[in-house]
Structure 1
Amino acid sequence: MDTNALDVLPEEPEDSEQSQTPEERSASFSLPPPIPATQSMATKYSPLPWKGYFDNEEDINIPESNSTFHVYSAGTEGPVIFCLHGGGYSGLSFALAAGKLKQKVRVVAMDLRGHGNSQTDDETDISIERLCEDVLAVIKTLYGHDPPAIVLVGHSMGGSIAVHLAAKKVISSCAGLVVVDVVEGTAMASLIHMQQILSNRPRHFPSVEKAIEWSVKVGSLRNIESARASVPSTLKFDDERECYVWRTPLEKSESYWKHWYEGLSEMFLSCPVPKLLLLAGTDRLDRSLTIGQMQGKFQMIVIRHTGHAIQEDVPDEFASVVLNFISRNQIGPHGIQIPGLRR
């Protein structure tokens, strides 16, 4: 501390307390404590920049197409944790988790077609086939024909993409699969309610701060910091109405919903890599996965004190689980590490 700063403070007489009358001393002790300064709504729900969590962002131009995918990355060592967000979210859904993961692994999170800051030749085609093609194109553009070990991490719709890619063995260096809170049975059963759920969302917001506030108070997110980092990228400004609207019109993608999740459980079980299913509740496990889990075909972890977006609500716990999965399966920068062998 700079001791010169003490010089500006007036000195109190040593006998100031003795000079007070009993009534004055009693009154001073009965005063209520000062009211702490409250955080304004604008500050509490203000957007947070990606730079606090990721190290870089870049636009990946796909050769021979008009598509550009926005990608965030962090970390310099270890295998690549390639993160795929859910429908209506963005790559920044993994921002807080990336801030924890990057100390030991590399993290890459892309904005999928029709989401975030990606711009593609057809924003409306978010079929599972097209989404898988997009991810493959980004990986090829980033790493060429010799990619490092990749652990696919997918949340909700992104989990479906990750499962399809792992099951089809189209990523030669795929070393692991982490699926976050998506199970075929529950997903298929909930599709009949999706339009109603989407119609209950506000269609526009007067400001980004109001959208962040709604996402935490009414929407699916429970972590204010994560919402401040991720929600802005799920919005776009409507010049005509002079307000913010959702970047992705999910209600118009209904024709693709069934194909995202149909046959997902058996496909997940068939993936020839170490697998982790991270759930927010055991009631989401269907029959095929229950049998597979009892047979030890995959690891399952249930985190009960969270909502659907586990990686956003409890990023520290999410990062810890993913790192433990990588350590448990000995996944290094070049793949599964076999004791006694060196590459």
Structure 2
Amino acid sequence: MTVKWFSARLLKGALLGAVGMYGTAAAVRQADHRRSAGQTRPPALPDGEPRAGIRSADGTPIYADACGEGPTVFLVHGLACNHTIWRYQRAFLRDRYRVVSLDLRGHGKSGTPASRDQSTERLAEDLEAVVEAFDPPSFVICGHSMGGFTTLKWHERFAERYRGRLKGLVLVDSSGVDVVEGIVLGGLVKRLYPVPLSTLLDLMAVDLPVAQRGWELYGRTAPAYLFARYTAFGKRPPADEVEFQRELIFSTPLPDFVRAMKACLDYHVDPESLSRIEVPVLVLVGSVDRLTARRSSERTSAMIPGARLKVYEERGHDTMLECPEEVNRDLGAFLEECFR
């Protein structure tokens, strides 16, 4: 009787907790949409002209497109996103620059590698394949979150090939230090990773149709909205941008999402390589970024000679969606200096 009674109480408590969480998430979602009603956003830009035939070093097909004319700006997205997350920046920059946006392996229109290797080493090779394909006489690379990790890893491995042609780097809500040093609950993650968390992630990365279907169904719910809101935005985000980020996250196949998450946890750049960066660097971060915290950006900018840091108050991890006008202004001014 005692065991059955406790089991029933536990089940009842779990059900009530789930219902309460769903109700809270739905209420937050509705409040965001009411508050955001009528807000004007800058114009977005659809896909540019695709460049066919790009393959990474291991043969993985990589999607990239371009729009505009002028010096080249490469835009590199983050975890569980794709090239469309730069929609406001593409629209803003295309009148003065050739804007190249790519999808990293396992994301968007790019392929999943046969090896299932989505480490930042391979992501840097994806970026290098796109740089080679467009072969610009001068260029700047701008990376968001995992795209910033990719950018710094690319610089560590390939930048010497482009001495005189590479004009600058931009890190948006990203970091040059290990992810666990800046993520929310990073201390706990550090104690659990690699053991036992790595094993759990490996199990989640197995291709299972049932798990994928559950991932997609969950992605339509109010709790999924709350997940996107908490991880990527500040206190009063535009509801449409949270919905957009939610769609990006849950349209990424679950195994690719998990492998990319593991790549971020394994990410490491030699601090000496940061001190050797010779081009101008701009570091942009939201003050309440929960994934690559402000303190990580401050440390990163301090490690890179002459790097500039801009903090957007009360903004989160997706500053280019949350405050696009401010990001566009700062990015535009920086690019003018780089290509002067």
* 2:146 corresponds to which of 135, 140, 157: 157
Secondary structure in structure 1 of the residue aligned to 2:152:
helix
Q: Is the 8 A contact 2:54 2:129 kept in 1?
A: no
Secondary structure in structure 2 of the residue aligned to 1:137:
helix
Secondary structure in structure 2 of the residue aligned to 1:121:
coil
Q: Is the 8 A contact 1:97 1:312 kept in 2?
A: no
CA spacing shift, 1:297–1:279, aligned 2, 3 Å: same
CA distance in 2, matches of 1:280, 1:110: 24
Q: Match for 1:160: what amino acid?
A: F
Superposition pairs of residues 8-87 of structure 1, within 5 angstroms: 52-62=45-55, 66-77=59-70, 79-87=71-79
Deviation at 1:292, TM superposition (A): 4.6
Deviation at 1:188, TM superposition (A): 2.9
* 1:269 corresponds to which of 268, 275, 291: 275
- The count of corresponding residues between Structure 1 and Structure 2 is 269
Which residue does the alignment assign to 2:4? none
Gaps spanning 5+ residues in structure 2: where? 1-32, 38-42, 205-212, 288-292
CA spacing shift, 1:248–1:323, aligned 2, 3 Å: farther
Does 1:316 find its partner at 2:325? yes
CA spacing shift, 1:100–1:229, aligned 2, 3 Å: farther
Deviation at 1:152, TM superposition (A): 0.7
Secondary structure in structure 2 of the residue aligned to 1:204:
helix
Deviation at 1:64, TM superposition (A): 8.4
CA distance in 2, matches of 1:218, 1:287: 22
Q: Match for 1:163: what amino acid?
A: L
RMSD: 3.9
Q: Match for 1:220: what amino acid?
A: A
CA spacing shift, 1:267–1:313, aligned 2, 3 Å: farther
Which residue does the alignment assign to 1:256? 263
CA distance in 2, matches of 1:258, 1:306: 23
CA distance in 1, matches of 2:241, 2:259: 27
Give CA-to-partner distance per residue, 1:282-318, whole Å, 9 cap, x none. Answer: 841478546557xx62111111131112112112211
Deviation at 1:154, TM superposition (A): 0.9
Gaps spanning 5+ residues in structure 1: where? 1-39, 45-49, 237-244, 332-336, 338-343
Which residue does the alignment assign to 2:81? 89
CA distance in 2, matches of 1:98, 1:154: 13
Does 1:166 find its partner at 2:155? yes
Which residue does the alignment assign to 1:306? 315
Q: Match for 2:147: what amino acid?
A: G
Secondary structure in structure 2 of the residue aligned to 1:118:
coil
**Structure with the higher fraction of residues in helix conformation:** 2
